[in-house]
Amino acid sequence: MESLVEWLPKIGAGITFLVGLIGFFKPRLMLDPLNIALQSPLAISEARGVFGGLNLGMAIAAFSLNEPVIFTAMGIAWATVTLARFWSMAVDGIGFKASIPPLIVDSTICLLLLSPLVLN
């Protein structure tokens, strides 16, 4: 039986997969609550590619190849997303209160994916 530390990255990849499915098939479901207006077919296509395609591709690669380095790369990517949130607060004037939910989601996925490095 695999230990919890071995399962945590798979849970993170599963969440990434779900984020990718939503971004791929229903990008408005993800972006409307954030007040990101998709006002043209090109905008919807970009959202599908970035929020759907990248996340789905990373998760599928992680599950199909099942290599720890891929889960680590995904964790580093989510860590960079989290860093970008802090940068946006400093540069774009996004308030901390508005940033709390995405910071929790992004950092949780990051920690799940990097848990073997942190907990071993």
Assigned token pair, 76: 């580093």
Whether 21 contacts 52, CB under 8 Å: yes
**Degrees to nearest 5, angle at CA 104 with 72 and 47:** 75
- Rg of the Cα atoms in the chain: 15
Residues 6+ apart with CB under 8 A from 86: 103
Do residues 77 and 61 lie in contact, with contact meaning Cβ atoms separated by under 8 Å? no
* pTM for the full predicted model: 0.91
pLDDT tens for 47-100 read 999 999 999 999 999 999 999 999 999 999 999 999 999 999 999 999 999 899
* Sequence ranges of the domains in the chain: 4-115
- Residues with Cβ within 8 Å of 38's Cβ and at least 6 positions away in sequence, in order, are 27, 28, 31, 44, 47
pLDDT band at 119 (very low <50, low <70, confident <90, very high): confident
Q: Is the pLDDT of residue 1 over 70?
A: no
To the nearest whole number, what is the mean pLDDT of the chain? 94
Q: What is the pLDDT of residue 2?
A: 67
Percent of the chain having pLDDT more than 90? 82
